[in-house]
């Protein structure tokens, strides 16, 4: 059984709580009201802005990686495949708001029949305009997508 506090301690605690609520009702405790009401709202607004920007920037990088892998698997000549794969990735990102200067396209594979070709596309999202997130992420949020496709084992020798 829990031990009850003496009557004087209970009275002191009640008086302290009553005084706090009376000050909050009169508006004298502005720090409490700000913390309890405004700060959670601001945090939610920042998280929504961050999530909206991050999610909207993920789809273009996935599409660029997919187009890159398709273009790389379209021919058996490695140099031609690498050129057209990189061009396909950059063309896919051209209509988006991402800065093309930060795009990196990495293509790996050996272009033998039945082997796999992997395209990895990455770029940075500028989040410097979102307060508090800019300090956490350094103003840049890396976005990466990787797609692997298999070359056809019985592909004809067209290029």
In a domain, 1, yes or no: no
In a domain, 132, yes or no: yes
**Residue 123 forms beta bridges with which residues?**
143
pLDDT digits (tens, 9 = 90+) for 19-59: 655 665 555 556 666 677 787 888 888 888 777 777 777 88
In a domain, 2, yes or no: no
Distance CA 29, CA 47 (A): 28
pTM over 0.85: no
Question: How far are the Cα atoms of 62, 81, 139, 144 from residue 69, in angstroms, in the given order?
Answer: 11, 9, 30, 14
Tokens 């009201």 label which residue?
33
Task: Give me 115's structure tokens.
Answer: 């082997």
pLDDT digits (tens, 9 = 90+) for 78-107: 888 899 999 999 888 887 755 556 889 999
- Domain containing 36 equals 7-150
In a domain, 121, yes or no: yes
In a domain, 157, yes or no: no
Domain count along the chain: 1
In a domain, 156, yes or no: no
In a domain, 159, yes or no: no
Can you say whether the dihedral through the CA atoms of 32, 38, 44, 47 is positive or negative?
A: negative
């Amino acid at each position: 059984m829990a031990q009850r506090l003496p009557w004087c301690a209970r009275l002191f605690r009640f008086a302290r709580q009553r005084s706090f609520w009376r000050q909050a009702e009169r508006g004298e405790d502005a720090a409490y009201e700000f913390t309890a009401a405004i700060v959670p709202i601001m945090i939610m607004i920042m998280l929504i802005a961050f999530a909206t920007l991050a999610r909207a920037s993920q789809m273009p990088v996935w599409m660029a990686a997919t187009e890159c892998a398709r273009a790389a698997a379209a021919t058996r000549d490695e140099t031609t495949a690498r050129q057209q794969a990189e061009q396909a990735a950059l063309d896919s990102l051209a209509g988006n708001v991402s800065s093309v200067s930060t795009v990196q396209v990495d293509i790996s594979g050996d272009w033998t029949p039945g082997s796999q070709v992997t395209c990895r596309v990455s770029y940075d999202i500028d989040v410097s305009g979102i307060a508090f997130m800019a300090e956490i992420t350094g103003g840049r949020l890396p976005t990466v997508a990787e797609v692997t496709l298999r070359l056809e084992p019985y592909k004809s020798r067209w290029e």
